[in-house]
Structure 1
Amino acid sequence: MPSTPLRVAVLGFWHVHAGDYAQQTVDHPGTELVAVWDDDAERGRAGAERFGVEFTDDLDALLARPDVDAVTITTSTDVHRDVIVRAAAAGKHVFTEKLLAPTVEECEEVIAACDTARVALVVSLPRLYHGYTAAILRELDAGRLGDVTSSRVRLSHDGAVAPWLPERFFDPATAIGGALTDLGCHPVYLTQLFLGARPDSVAAVYRSVTGRAVEDHAVVTVGYPSQAIGVIEAGFVAGTPFTIDVAGTRGWLAYSDLEARLTAGGPAYGDETVTLDVPADTQDAFGQWVDHVAAGTRADDNLARAVELTRLVVAANDAAGQPAGHAARHAAPVGAPV
């Protein structure tokens, strides 16, 4: 932890988690929230007033301030590359919401900029650090399931129909996709963790119950050379429990946040259904970021997974006939005339 608090500015209240990261900045003993910028002045002022800090509409002036050490990036996805590269060039450490960027090429550009500037970059991939994830990995690493044959991860909420999800989340030019690109990131990186980062086949079905320009629910299936199959499900139109199912030739695992319980069965477990111990969550991504800043270290695993997450999201969007990043590649930089 830094000997003096890391002074953090929020860049953008576009994302629904912007307030969560701002609150983490307030709550963490190693960080202090000092300012807010947003390209939407009304939205930015509301966020700044909520946390009792200064608002500015001048990004360059904010990044030039010596009393800002770091930034949280919760802008629209289409401007991540521009904003993060500018923050890195100004020597500011960066914590960002997923996706890191709309394309793999932009991800690599962002990471290179942060490496060159020697600033810490961490992407919020929170479910990697939850206890049920560690417990599932424990069983897989021990080989108890035999040859792993399948995985299914589902995450869904009712934000499009309740409705509480902001309409900007359905703008393909700024959100760079719908339910899969946003909420589906979590099932994607968990599937990659359980089965492997790079499947050799990707198929996708996207639909829009609400008639928006982007999908509000999606199913992606991925296949691997091992012959394992992964099913990734995400949606904005049904508040179903978060579930994980992993199966192999000698057993199966099932987790649901409905009961917050991990169960297992099959020959590996005596052909009975048993409840497995789930350890406590490990340090979250924000806390890891603060530690990387203090230690001057690089978040190698987090960044590698962030790039592979984007790679698979792009492949899924392509498979569904909605190429990810198309709008972003033609978007004007923040602050440029449009």
Structure 2
Amino acid sequence: MLNVAMISKWHVHAEGYASHLQSLGNVNITAVWDEVTDRGRAWAAQLGADFEADLDALLKREDVDAVVIDAPTSMHAEVMIAAANAGKHIFTEKSMALTVAECDQITEAVQRAGVKFCISFPARTRPHHLFAKQLLDDGLLGAVTLLRIRNGHDGALNNWLPEYWYDEKQAGGGAMMDLGCHPMYLASWLLGQPKRITSMFGYFTGRAVEDHAQCSIEFEGNAIALLETSLVTYLTPPAFELYGTEGTLIISGDAVKLASKHLDSRLQGWIAPRQLPKEQPLPLTAWVDGILNDRPMPFGLEDGTKLTELLETAYIAHRERRTVEFKQPGGN
């Protein structure tokens, strides 16, 4: 049995994470901490757990083996480093932190403590995206020239997100920092090292942070990714388009179309694959299993740092209204 503490109910996924943990049968939620005392106390009562007003006191508890962090993104580094120093395993909502420098501090603390770390990258567990990675690994698309991903909803348009979601001091940004994480980490996973980035952010509802955004990123091999996200679009169908020199993959909702020069000659043109890779366990499930059975984490410190690198640089490009070059490995 894994004893878990919930660290804040700030993130909109926190309640879902707690429900999922309780459904697994091998997790006991023992304690709750929240930077908003009344919210945390009420949530602890709902979960049948203890409320700890002091984070250090919670992290010293012997009935806390691990923590799920849903605190404001601006608090992630502080909270994760404290958890690692206390010897607690860590699961965190994205993004890992606001800057690569903070990610490096978290990484140092986690590695020094020898605890397990996992970040929530659910899009990398889904059959459609696993299929895309498989096609690239098998060379069926040739060299990638263009990747386009869209992810959006109407949370800001119809006001079903909490208003603190638009507080830059807490969230670190708007649509790109929230929903934009998914296109960002998918692009990093599929295309590798980024080279340069430009951003265009919009403020349709007039809030302090962007409510729709687009980033154009050039990756190694000269592949370009167009990553789009929005909190102001109605019934937004997710879109995923991957274009290569020898093939194309189009995913729209549950529909998948593939064309490749490497398919059997009888199948030239568009085909709909009959079988996709098996869906992988959700990151939270994999984290619990990894702790209890000493297995590697699917999405770790390096993955989280790469996402933050993309996000941090995207916001620099937006603020400074310019194309920003990424520091290349081994460069000065």
So what's the TM-score if we normalise by structure 2?
0.91
Q: Which residue does the alignment assign to 2:212?
A: 217
- Amino acid of the structure 2 residue aligned with 1:204: S
- Amino acid of the structure 1 residue aligned with 2:269: E
Question: Does structure 1 conserve the Cα–Cα contact (< 8 Å) formed by 2:33 and 2:53?
Answer: yes
Residue 273 in structure 1 maps to residue 267 in structure 2: no
Select which of 295, 298, 301 maps to 1:303: 301
Distance in 1 (alpha carbons) for counterparts of 2:43 and 2:228: 32
Q: Which digits, 9 at most, give the CA deviation of each residue in 1:24-80, with x for residues without a partner?
A: 211112211112110101221232233232222121211111111111000000111
SS at match of 2:305: helix
Question: Does structure 2 conserve the Cα–Cα contact (< 8 Å) formed by 1:72 and 1:94?
Answer: yes
273-282 vs 209-218, which deviates more?
Answer: 273-282
165-174 vs 51-60, which deviates more?
Answer: 51-60
Distance in 2 (alpha carbons) for counterparts of 1:124 and 1:322: 30
Residue 97 in structure 1 maps to residue 111 in structure 2: no
List gaps (5 residues or longer) in structure 1.
Answer: 324-338
299-308 vs 310-319, which deviates more?
Answer: 299-308
Q: Which residue does the alignment assign to 1:287?
A: 285
SS at match of 1:321: helix
SS at match of 2:151: strand
Shift of 1:224: 2.6
- Amino acid of the structure 2 residue aligned with 1:289: W
Q: Which residue does the alignment assign to 2:314?
A: 316
Question: Does structure 2 conserve the Cα–Cα contact (< 8 Å) formed by 1:206 and 1:320?
Answer: yes
Q: Which residue does the alignment assign to 1:113?
A: 109
Q: Which digits, 9 at most, give the CA deviation of each residue in 1:143-189, with x for residues without a partner?
A: 11122111001110111012111111101111001110111010001
Q: Which digits, 9 at most, give the CA deviation of each residue in 1:234-268, with x for residues without a partner?
A: 111113011110011222101122xx122112544
Q: Which residue does the alignment assign to 2:156?
A: 160
Q: Which digits, 9 at most, give the CA deviation of each residue in 1:276-325, with x for residues without a partner?
A: 122231122112212322244553753211110100111111100179xx
Distance in 1 (alpha carbons) for counterparts of 2:313 and 2:276: 33
Question: Does structure 2 conserve the Cα–Cα contact (< 8 Å) formed by 1:120 and 1:297?
Answer: no
Shift of 1:101: 0.9
SS at match of 2:236: coil
Distance in 1 (alpha carbons) for counterparts of 2:107 and 2:23: 27
- Amino acid of the structure 1 residue aligned with 2:212: H
Q: Which residue does the alignment assign to 2:73?
A: 77
- Amino acid of the structure 1 residue aligned with 2:122: P
RMSD: 1.7
309-318 vs 27-36, which deviates more?
Answer: 27-36
Question: Does structure 2 conserve the Cα–Cα contact (< 8 Å) formed by 1:151 and 1:194?
Answer: no
Q: Which residue does the alignment assign to 2:328?
A: none
SS at match of 1:247: strand
Distance in 2 (alpha carbons) for counterparts of 1:163 and 1:169: 11
209-218 vs 140-149, which deviates more?
Answer: 140-149
Residue 234 in structure 1 maps to residue 229 in structure 2: yes
Q: Which residue does the alignment assign to 2:172?
A: 176
Question: Does structure 2 conserve the Cα–Cα contact (< 8 Å) formed by 1:262 and 1:278?
Answer: no
List gaps (5 residues or longer) in structure 2.
Answer: 322-332
299-308 vs 8-17, which deviates more?
Answer: 299-308
Kindly, what percent of the aligned residue pairs are identical? 38
Residue 145 in structure 1 maps to residue 141 in structure 2: yes
